Amino acid sequence: MNFLVTRVDKTWFPKPILQVLNVLFCDMFGMSMSLFATHFIYRYMVLSRKKFLRKYDGRTICVMILFSILFGIVWGVFAWDTMQPFPEADRMLSEKFATQMNLTLDQIAYVGILFYYKDKLGNEQVHWPSVVGIGIQSFFIGISFFLIFYFGFKCYQQTRRLVSSQSNSSNNLQSQLFYALVFQTLIPICLMHVPASIVYGVAALNKSNDFFGQFLSLFICLYPALDPLPNFFIIKSYRKAVRDFFENIYRKLICRRKPIPISTSGSHNQAWKASNVSNISVHLS
């Protein structure tokens, strides 16, 4: 089993609204899967210098955004239909979570999957809506995973071709872009695809644990913060811009803290110059 639980008594929203927000959270997770893929598709199109991209760049971006939205809508529809509460899940969640936290089911809103449950006679049964829902979501994750690797490899091939036909400065830039691409491939795979696959796989084996759910939630939160970092640290122009930004801040802070010493040497110099001028004038006369 695997559940996304929010506490009604800790928010300002009523339980029905929280139920919708839980599904939207799952929806955004699914939409992010498609955004990974469209990111690599667009990068390959730029590297390969497709002619239609020059003419219809705006339309291409709109189509990719619409694809991601549609991907997320389909994901959300299946999440709404297959991950909603049902009596057996209520009983399981009450025993494993609510009672231990001194809560009632009225104080929590949840969506989730429960592959196996026990009927009134104690026999273990399969909850097929959860199986179908997770099967479809796993298929979507597989599509995203395939597109990332396929177009990532195509980007690698195209980068190698460009290196052989361009100047050293262009080759250096292409190498930086390639290494940034490698890290930007690993980040979503390590933070999104692999954890989600582990959570679904463990739930399918009926060996779920609170740690896996917290593990996935933490990585989902980390992804937006970590995703742009390869560009900032690997691409030279970005790295220089970041360094200059922090150096400017550092200089401003130092200038504010250090008092400016008031020197009287200027008045002495002026007096010295005046005496020299007067001496010269007397000598000439």
Q: Which of 83, 110, 113 is nearest to 97 (CA)?
A: 110
Q: What is the predicted pLDDT for the residue at 254? A: 79
Q: What ranges do the domains of the chain cover?
A: 2-227, 228-258
Q: What is the predicted pLDDT for the residue at 213? A: 67
Q: What is the predicted pLDDT for the residue at 32? A: 81
In this structure, what token pair is assigned to residue 189? Answer: 């795979």
Q: Report residues of the chain scoring pLDDT below 50.
A: 266-268, 270-285
Q: What is the predicted pLDDT for the residue at 271? A: 46
CA distance readout (Å), 210 to 191, 227, 235, 242: 18, 26, 39, 39
Share of the chain above pLDDT 70, in %: 80
pLDDT digits (tens, 9 = 90+) for 30-80: 888 888 788 888 888 877 766 656 666 677 778 888 888 888 888 888 888
- State the pTM of this model: 0.69
